[in-house]
Amino acid sequence: MQFSTSFIPDIRFGSGLFGNLADLIGPFEGVRAVLIVMDGFLASRGLAKVVAGKLAEAGIEPRLYSDFSGEPKLEHLRAATAIAVGTDIVVGVGGGSALDIAKIAACCAVSGQDPMFYALAANPLPNNPLKKIMVPTTAGTGSETSATNIFAGPEGKKLWIWGAESKADLVLLDPELTISLPPNLTAWCGMDAFIHAFEAATNRNAHMGAKLYAHEAMRLVAGSLEAAVKAPGNLDARGKVLLGSCYAGIAIDNCGTAVAHNISHAMAGLAPIHHGLATALGFEATIGWLADLDTADVNEAARAIGLQNAQALPGFVSDLMDRCGVERVLPKAFERFSSDDLAAEMRAPENQPMRRSTVREISDADIDAFAARIMSLPKML
């Protein structure tokens, strides 16, 4: 046995924590200015204003960047970086986009380099980035505990920046911030978190160190996602899904994902679709095929959520998606594409790491079969 796990930031969990951001910043010495990168939706609810007011009262200059929506684009990274220059801490509040923008801005602001300088690991990140506090509000991406950051490059191409230097120093998990997430997004993001954990615990990179987090994440999300979807104000369920998503982020930070993410990234290459929904559809389309290989890791993952063995997984996953109201439908934009188009994307070079990491070898015939299964879904979203 040989493995390594990457460092895990301080984690603070509790309802209402974010409102006390000014107090939490206290331990970081000599802080004069803080940039808050916040989803526009959250900022419009007045959340930023309250926190900014408290920071100002504490003698700390608050800055805000919330002029973005959807997947982060290069221009968002550049804009956030420009505002981050001169601050001491960058706080990301929102879904994966807000967090990724904040993490990259904290690096670029100290080096003076453009984000493209670091894209696809062209150059190492600076080793003295600004302090980073990450406050996830969607309970899905796990960006708060990972070293990976995704954005769209100059020609709209999906790019990534990777490095331990981009990881958070402090993660705030405040279940209250997730209450406003609508049921369908709660379900999609929660399924994404569950699948992060499952894939990290069962792919070719899986190891004992990461399985500790992955299994706990699976337990937390499987045990509470339905309640969080059906009773949006259930803070206990919201909190467990949020914590599960954070642990799932640790799991993928160490072991990455597998076939379901090969499919969801391939789908995103065709037309816009919510990442969590795409991943859930890809997972349901492949879990039976994967469980048939019957590996020790897959059986262990099944038992972690109280199932008898791997063979019980496909039924459990479909039932979980049913209970959480996940409709098996694609956006209308997918009408323009065939299953061959999806299969081609699944074979694209940038999606090969997730194909190769999958514990069962994915043949070309498998790809065609999975693509056909996905593209046979109704296109009505």
Say whether residue 344 binds its own copies (CB under 8 A): no
C-alpha separations of 184 from 12, 148, 204, 230, 323 in Å: 27, 25, 31, 10, 12
Q: How many Cα atoms sit within 13 Å of 67 on the Cβ side?
A: 12
Q: 123: how many CB neighbours lie within 10 A of its CB?
A: 14
Beta bridge partners of 131: 89
Say whether residue 233 binds its own copies (CB under 8 A): no
Say whether residue 130 binds its own copies (CB under 8 A): no
Q: Please give the residues from 23 up to 82 whose contact with its own copies meets the rule CB under 8 A.
A: 29
Say whether residue 154 binds its own copies (CB under 8 A): no
Report, in Å, the least distance between residue 213 CB and its own copies: 8
Q: Please give the residues from 254 up to 273 whose contact with its own copies meets the rule CB under 8 A.
A: none
Say whether residue 216 binds its own copies (CB under 8 A): yes
When binding is defined by CB under 8 A, the residue of 14, 70, 156, 378 that contacts its own copies is 14
Report, in Å, the least distance between residue 35 CB and its own copies: 21
Say whether residue 329 binds its own copies (CB under 8 A): no
CA distance 160 to 10: 24
Report, in Å, the least distance between residue 59 CB and its own copies: 20
CA distance 247 to 9: 11
The structure tokens listed for 1 are 């046995």
Contact criterion met (CB below 8 Å) for 321 and 284: yes
Of residues 193, 192, 189, 206, the one with CA closest to residue 301 = 206
When binding is defined by CB under 8 A, the residue of 62, 239, 276, 282 that contacts its own copies is 239
Contact criterion met (CB below 8 Å) for 155 and 118: no
Annotate each residue in 186-215 with x if it binds its own copies (CB under 8 A) or - if it does not, as one string: ----------------------xx--xx--
The structure tokens listed for 287 are 């879990």
Q: Residues binding its own copies: what is the number (CB under 8 A)? A: 28
Say whether residue 2 binds its own copies (CB under 8 A): yes
Q: Using CB under 8 A, list all residues that contact its own copies.
A: 1-15, 17, 29, 127, 169, 208-209, 212-213, 216, 236, 239, 243, 247
